[in-house]
Structure 1
Amino acid sequence: MHGDPMMWIAGIRALYLQALHPRVVRGVLQNSDFRRDPWGRLLRTADFVGAISYGTAQDAEEAAARVRRIHRRLKATDPDTGEVYHVDEPELLLWVHCAEVASYVEVLRRSGFPLTPAHADRYIDEQRESARLIGLDPADVPADRAAMRAYFARVRPELTVTAEAREVDEFLRHPPTPPLLAPARELGWRRVANLAYAALPPYAHELYGRSAPPPGVVDLRLRAAGNILRCIPAHLRWQLPPKHILRAMERLGPGSRPAPFKLRGQAAILDGPGRAMRGDGGDTTRWRKPG
């Protein structure tokens, strides 16, 4: 899944969703260089996801340790109450995690990636390891689609659109670009951002106050975007930073190349609700050289 180009649209959807949690979005904007270096921050996030997906176990642990060290020393202030809180509170980390994972599953599924319900449950379960890496207890993290739905239903009353969320929305629709690239931003990026926004759940559209096309229309647009982006040769897509997939293939061999058809082959060996028979006895989140 993490090798699919629609992950970029899924990541933008996740940002829209994460910004609806007031304490989370304040923690981000009060502590980061998002305004001064938005593209750098997005690439650093992609680099972290790539490291824990395609790096060695040591790479993943080291990348996560750096993130935890940064989070531990960061605080934010609630402007309404004056309360000062740590940005690594478990409930805040959990919201960021669930918004990301749910967005990845939702966008890829709706865009035509061959993700069965059992695959989706397995992916959500596997991503509890990424939750552990950022400091959460995996036992407190949703392990399947049903648990994820229950989590969002529980958190829904806490979500709202703050001034900070409006700022994120404005950035995602009109990111800063050099004047010469402004036409390209309007032609390309704005369509991407609009599609990511349209893929949000209906309650998010209500909170932001901007409508979206009907779900069926959004599905057609997601599938069309997926078909177009997947026509780009994989080796060209993977040349982009952070290049973790290429490094993993160099380390593990060409048999480790991520490809959707491998999911189709695995569907036949599912032995129970969402649990897969693991021939190598290990963590299926990372790609391994066969044998």
Structure 2
Amino acid sequence: MTHAPSSPTPDWIQSLRGKILVALAGDPTGMAPYVRDIAEGDDAGYFVENGPAWTVHAGMGTLVAGIRALLLQALHPGALAGVHDWSRYREDPIGRLTGTVRWVITLTYGSKTQADAETRRVGRFHQRVKGEYRAGDGAERTYTAEATDLVRWVHLAFTDAFLAGHEASKKQIPGGPDAYVADWATAGRLMRVVDPPLTRDALRGEIDGFYARGELRGGERVDEVVRFLRKPPFPGVMGVAYRVLFAAAVATIPRRYRKMLGVRRWPLPVLTVTRVILRITERALGSGPRAQDMAYARLRRLEREAA
């Protein structure tokens, strides 16, 4: 039985693929040097093959998660002060995004040696990040990027965002949501988070605890971040797709935090539209190697060497 040849990928899909890969990996092929390096290394890494972290971070829901994480992080004035004072997100939004993606991808799919080196790289930058901010209670306080409460808040916001983004895509997680929270707690411990939460309820309980203690606030700086994240300088079809992803990120945020951010849900089935966008994006990215493919290559090589 013969099969008709597959139809060529439309030019606009190819174009979208290149733009997305530049945003995610800093390279139009998706094979930035750090991604290729994942095939190297002499150990299996911190996260189990095809386990919760592998599954969630391979999904297209991470596109929603990245936006959601930045929105939620902005509500802690200490974390926001660090971004405001030290980040170049306004001048180089792609550079800021690719730096964060590099950390997530390397920890998830790389060897322990690579993950530890990446953690040290981020830590060296954080050592320089310090200043002052007005806390939720109005008091002036000093901050460092290594402060216990700020490191914890960033971990909580990231974990909840990845989880919510994946749940929005309607795809399953091996072992369920609690398994992912417990799995990604390893990343929190690598970043010196003490006793990170291990279940979805504990995770969201801690986030609500920051709110209940008055440690979160809106304000002019939050408004500035929201304005930028609502419409960053992405042209053409990528800009249109991004606006839907932004709306989806907003839709996954609980009402009390949306109110502090000054954002509203679309009165449309935005999550349904987002799933269509994510499927198109998945098709655009599906024609080339991925970080997990590099990890598979490393694991198969280690198996051969051990045989």
Q: TM-score, normalised by structure 1?
A: 0.75
Distance of aligned partners of 1:122 and 1:186 in 2 relative to their CA distance in 1, 3 Å threshold? closer
Match of 1:224 among 268, 276, 293: 276
Q: CA deviation at 1:222?
A: 4.1
Give, in whole Å, the separation in 1 of the partners of 2:150 and 2:186. 17
1:148 aligned onto 2:203? yes
Give, in whole Å, the separation in 1 of the partners of 2:192 and 2:259. 32
Equivalent pairs counted in the alignment come to 246
Residue in structure 1 matched with residue 248 of structure 2 by the alignment: 195
Residue in structure 2 matched with residue 133 of structure 1 by the alignment: 190
Residue in structure 1 matched with residue 68 of structure 2 by the alignment: 13
Preserved contact between residue 7 and residue 108 of structure 1 (Cα < 8 Å): yes
Give, in whole Å, the separation in 2 of the partners of 1:147 and 1:158. 18
Q: Match for 1:190: what amino acid?
A: R
Q: Match for 1:158: what amino acid?
A: E
Preserved contact between residue 6 and residue 229 of structure 1 (Cα < 8 Å): no
Q: CA deviation at 1:185?
A: 5.1
- Which range is displaced more, 151-160 or 15-24? 151-160
Q: How does 1:38-187 map to 2 (within 5 A)?
A: 38-78=93-133, 81-115=139-173, 118-137=175-194, 139=195, 141-156=196-211, 157-177=214-234, 181=235, 183-184=236-237, 186-187=239-240
Give, in whole Å, the separation in 2 of the partners of 1:8 and 1:172. 13
Structure 2 gap segments, 5+ residues each: 1-55
Residue in structure 2 matched with residue 204 of structure 1 by the alignment: 257
Give, in whole Å, the separation in 1 of the partners of 2:128 and 2:155. 20
Residue in structure 1 matched with residue 294 of structure 2 by the alignment: 247
* Superposition RMSD in Å: 2.8
Which string of whole-angstrom CA distances, capped at 9 and with x for unpartnered residues, describes residues 167-193 of structure 1? Answer: 21111112135xxx3x44542222222
Preserved contact between residue 65 and residue 165 of structure 2 (Cα < 8 Å): yes
Q: Match for 1:24: what amino acid?
A: A
Q: TM-score, normalised by structure 2?
A: 0.72
Q: CA deviation at 1:230?
A: 3.6
Preserved contact between residue 107 and residue 115 of structure 2 (Cα < 8 Å): yes
Give, in whole Å, the separation in 2 of the partners of 1:199 and 1:150. 16
Which string of whole-angstrom CA distances, capped at 9 and with x for unpartnered residues, describes residues 83-136 of structure 1? Answer: 3221211111111111111111112112111137x4211111111110111122
Residue in structure 2 matched with residue 285 of structure 1 by the alignment: none
Give, in whole Å, the separation in 1 of the partners of 2:216 and 2:255. 13
Structure 1 gap segments, 5+ residues each: 239-243, 257-288
Give, in whole Å, the separation in 1 of the partners of 2:143 and 2:205. 26
Q: CA deviation at 1:236?
A: 3.1
